[in-house]
């Protein structure tokens, strides 16, 4: 059986609003009712959600909020995490994610048109989805991850991952994740595919990058940039 509810508001024990969804679909577990005499949930689907995800200075992830798409409503961190990883299946559609990296000075990023599928089975967590990038970074990315471990501590993960993006602004991405001054690509876009292998953290990364209109910074003795109409390369990285 399934229950469909619109304009959902969830209150804490004090009666304060901690979350709001435009639409929620609850799937009930009949087997639990027949076997244990209690009606449990087998999955939850929501839309119109605002997720706030932070990477803390120690590398741990924190779900800082679940609120409505208009903002202004945030949930207790522990409750949000319990909701996400305590249910067998989650489906999040037509939502947004704010990403904040507290380990660096990078500006927060706002992702839209977020669609996620999360399946939890004890310590195994499988997430797949897609989202639109901020306007200055590119178009859309698709991703999938299948790991065991604490879902909020990447250094405990063992498994595999994939991410692919179209028309990624390489210089814009560098400003988010690296020392932009040291990054050799000054302009250009690329289609990117990356595959990761995790063993108590990211152990290996391989990828394919197909770039267009690439300008590389000049080297010593050659101040002018090197220009390439098309540039393809493969990436391979191993943790030491």
Q: Which residue has the higher pLDDT, 104 or 197?
A: 197
Helices (H), the chain: 30-36, 77-86, 170-177
Question: Taking 80 as the threshold, does the pLDDT of residue 164 lie above it?
Answer: yes
**Whole-number pLDDT of residue 141:** 95
SS3 230: strand
**What is residue 127's three-state secondary structure?**
strand
User: 131 near 111, Cβ under 8 Å?
Assistant: yes
pLDDT of residue 71: 37
Lowest mean pLDDT among 30-34, 68-72, 79-83, 133-137: 68-72
Q: What is the pLDDT of residues 47-97, one digit of tens each?
A: 888 888 888 888 888 876 554 333 333 445 565 666 677 767 888 999 999
CA distance 68 to 48: 6
**Predicted structure pTM score:** 0.77
Average pLDDT over residues 83-112: 84
For residue 40, pLDDT beyond 80: no
Q: What DSSP designation does 14 have?
A: T
pLDDT at 36 over 90: no
Assigned token pair, 30: 């009949």
Compute the average pLDDT of residues 195-213.
95
Question: Measured on CA atoms in the order 55, 58, 59, 61, is the torsion positive or negative?
Answer: negative
Is the pLDDT reported for residue 205 higher than 50?
yes
Rounded to an integer, what distance in angstroms lies between the CA atom of residue 68 and that of residue 131? 17
Alpha-carbon span 165 to 180, nearest angstrom: 20
Print burial letters for 126-145: b (CB count within 10 Å at least 16), e (below 16): ebebbbbbbeebbebbebeb
Q: What is the pLDDT at residue 105?
A: 75
**Span 34-46, mean pLDDT?**
74
Distances (CA, A) of 97 to 116, 184, 189: 11, 29, 23
| Widest pairwise Cα distance in the chain | 78
Q: Percent of the chain beyond pLDDT 90?
A: 35
Across the range 24-31, mean pLDDT stands at: 76
pLDDT above 70 for 160: yes
What's the confidence (pLDDT) of residue 73? 38
Average the pLDDT over 154-158 and give the result: 95
Distance of alpha carbon 160 from alpha carbon 11, whole angstroms: 37
Report how far residue 193's alpha carbon sits from residue 173's, in angstroms, rounded to the nearest whole number: 14
| DSSP category for residue 108 | P
Residue 43 has pLDDT above 90, yes or no: no
What is the mean predicted confidence (pLDDT) over 15-20?
68
Mean pLDDT taken over the chain: 81
Q: What is the CA radius of gyration of the chain?
A: 21
**Residue 215 Cα to chain centre, angstroms:** 29
**More confidently predicted of 130 and 166:** 130
Q: Is residue 68 a contact partner of residue 21, using CB atoms and an 8 Å limit?
A: yes
Tell whether the model's pLDDT for residue 232 goes beyond 80.
yes
In this predicted structure, what is the pLDDT of residue 177?
63
């Amino acid at each position: 059986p399934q229950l469909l509810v619109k304009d959902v508001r969830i209150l804490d024990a004090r009666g304060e609003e901690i979350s709001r969804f435009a639409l929620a679909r609850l799937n009930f577990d009949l087997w639990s009712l027949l076997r244990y005499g209690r009606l449990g949930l087998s999955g939850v689907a929501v839309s119109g959600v605002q997720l706030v995800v932070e990477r803390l200075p120690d590398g741990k992830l924190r779900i800082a909020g679940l609120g409505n798409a208009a903002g202004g409503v945030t949930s207790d961190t522990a409750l949000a995490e319990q909701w996400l990883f305590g249910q067998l299946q989650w489906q999040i559609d037509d939502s947004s994610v704010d990403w904040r990296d507290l380990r660096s000075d990078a500006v927060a990023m706002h992702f839209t048109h977020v669609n996620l599928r999360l399946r939890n089975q004890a310590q195994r967590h499988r997430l797949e989805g897609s989202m639109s990038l901020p306007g200055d970074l590119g178009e859309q990315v698709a991703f999938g991850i299948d790991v065991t471990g604490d879902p909020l501590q990447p250094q405990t993960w063992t498994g595999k991952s994939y991410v692919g993006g179209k028309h990624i602004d390489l210089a814009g991405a560098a400003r988010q994740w690296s020392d932009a001054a040291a990054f050799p690509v000054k302009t250009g876009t690329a289609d990117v595919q990356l595959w990761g292998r995790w063993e108590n953290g990211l152990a290996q990364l391989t990828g394919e990058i197909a770039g267009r209109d690439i300008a590389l910074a000049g080297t010593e003795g050659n101040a002018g940039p090197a220009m390439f109409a098309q540039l393809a390369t493969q990436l391979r990285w191993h943790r030491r």
